[in-house]
Amino acid sequence: MRGTTIRRSIATVAVVLALAAIMAGCASTDIRSQTSPDYRGQPYEKIAVWIDIDDALTAHRAEDFLVEELVERGVDAVPQYSVFFAGRDYTYAQRQRELDKKGIDAVLTIELTDSGATKHRTPDRLHRVRRVNPYTGRVHTHSEWTRGHVDVDAWADFSAELIDRAGGDVVWLAVARTAGDPSIGRAGFTESVSREVADQLIKDGLVVTD
């Protein structure tokens, strides 16, 4: 199958998510997309979601989450593991036949391309405090120290591609960056990326929605 599949991808998600239990609270994702100038077809009616990583269980969960996001928006989508048996090697022709059986006309792949975390330290601060004695009315002024703290921002870069099943051409691609504070965990990380990819794909008119 042509196009980028997630090779080392979310295996690296394991790394990203391990960055201090990546991002808790909420994550924000910025996404940019392009549609191929050669794309002249109709919106795709049914797509397969492909997240290719060594950890099959993690891959299946990530695919399920993205499929759920798409289905909620009216897109007919299925995870790739419901199409292909993991214990079998497929030739290109065999993959095409399996996709045909399911009526799939495009495949959406996602790849984690880079990730990391940055730290910012707020310095200690000396400030003046004024207090009024409630009995005498006298004002007392003294100095207090406020201890600084360390903020950690975690981030991950993604690429996504929609591949035409018949021709094998990439008809749509997107790059995205998700960022947030440490401890969001796997769910929050996946949620942010899945929502944005699903929304952008629909916004760009590449898929049919009910």
Average pLDDT over the chain, rounded to an integer: 79
- Model confidence over 158-210: pLDDT tens digits? 889 999 998 899 999 999 988 877 666 555 666 788 889 999 999 999 999 98
Instruction: Please give the pLDDT value at position 20.
Output: 31
pLDDT of residue 143 exceeding 80: no
Question: What band does 29 get if pLDDT is binned at 50, 70 and 90?
Answer: confident
User: Would you kindly state where each structural domain of the chain is located, as residue ranges?
Assistant: 9-119+152-203
Instruction: Please give the pLDDT value at position 51.
Output: 79
User: Minimum mean pLDDT among 24-33, 43-52, 77-86: which range?
Assistant: 24-33
- Give the DSSP per-residue string, 15-57: HHHHTTT---S-EEEEEEEEE-TT--SPPBSEEEEE---S-HH
What's at 169, amino acid-wise? D
CATH class as words, domain 9-119+152-203: alpha beta
Which pTM value belongs to this model? 0.71
